Amino acid sequence: MRLILLDPPGAGKGTQAKRIAEKFNIVHISTGDILREELKKNSELGKKAGEYMQKGELVPDDLIIEMIKNIISNKENISNNEKSISEKSKKNAQNGFLMDGFPRTLNQAKKFDEMLESLGLSIDKVINIEVKKEELVKRLSSRRVCHSCNNICSLNDKKNIDEIKLGKCPVCGGELFQRKDDSEDVIMQRLEVYENQTKPLINYYKQKNLLVDIDGMGSEDEITERILSSL
């Protein structure tokens, strides 16, 4: 199974991607996670990408495409990329994957098609999670991430609100932080980038008959259920 998750920032793709990848036992490839990992390591790629990420802009296509090429063909040229791809990253991405945060431009999508074609592979479905803009801003500004286990949680999560307010991860007790690009001005920039550069992909994949629209309003469980029943 080869899937792409296509949705605006804040629509919950990180959480949904983990669940779907687990369900189908495929590799979860999050370009955002990989880049953040590279940034932490202060690698050449991390340094270059960091400048764009902090401003809420897209990292240039050539850097991203090269990174994806290495992963898909399993060359492992990105230093220690295994852990960043997913917990189950020992598997070969050619057996099945879920792309989370890639492609994000028409150019990336076209290059990705060429890459897959040269490997004799194709995409099965593109999942488009739809959420209203006001809701996206609300979700992003209340998002917190765990330093230790990468769990994504929210100040809107009533069940665990006391711990989250104290900055404690409800899963592992680790320290929570707010991503730099989840500040209000960067959120607006990221949403604009999505509108201008990523939204055209909806039509691109619709024309290829690959698109599945999913209503992204409701609880995380409800959204997972909708995605799974559409596959």
As annotated, the active-site residues are 13, 104, 143, 179, 190
Buried b (16+ CB within 10 A) or exposed e, 140-169: bbbbbbbeeebbbbbbeeeeeeebbeeebb
Identify which of residues 26 and 140 has a Cβ nearer to ligand AMP in the complex: 140
DSSP 83: H
Residues 73-132 that bind ligand AMP (CB under 6 A): 101-104, 108
Residues 8, 9, 12, 216: which binds ligand AMP (CB under 6 A)? 9
Give the chain's end-to-end CA distance (angstroms, integer): 10
Site for ligand AMP in 32-51 (CB under 6 A): 32, 35
Q: Answer yes or no whether residue 211 interacts with ligand AMP by CB under 6 A.
A: no
Q: Which residue number places its CB atom closest to ligand AMP?
A: 32
Confirm or reject binding of residue 31 to ligand AMP (CB under 6 A).
Answer: yes
Q: Which is nearer to ligand AMP, 141 or 161 (CB)?
A: 141
With CB under 6 A as the rule, give the number of residues binding ligand AMP.
18
Stretch that binds ligand AMP, among 19-27, 56-64, 169-177, 201-209 (CB under 6 A): 56-64
Who contacts 28 (Cβ-Cβ below 8 Å, separation ≥6)?
17, 18, 21, 85, 86, 88, 97, 98, 100
Residue closer to ligand AMP, measured from CB, 161 or 197: 197
- CB-based burial label for 42 (10 Å; 0-12, 13-18, 19+): exposed
Q: Cis bond leading into 103, ω under 30°?
A: yes
CB 71 within 8 A of CB 91: no
Binding site for ligand AMP (CB under 6 A): 9, 31-32, 35, 52-53, 56-59, 64, 101-104, 108, 181, 190
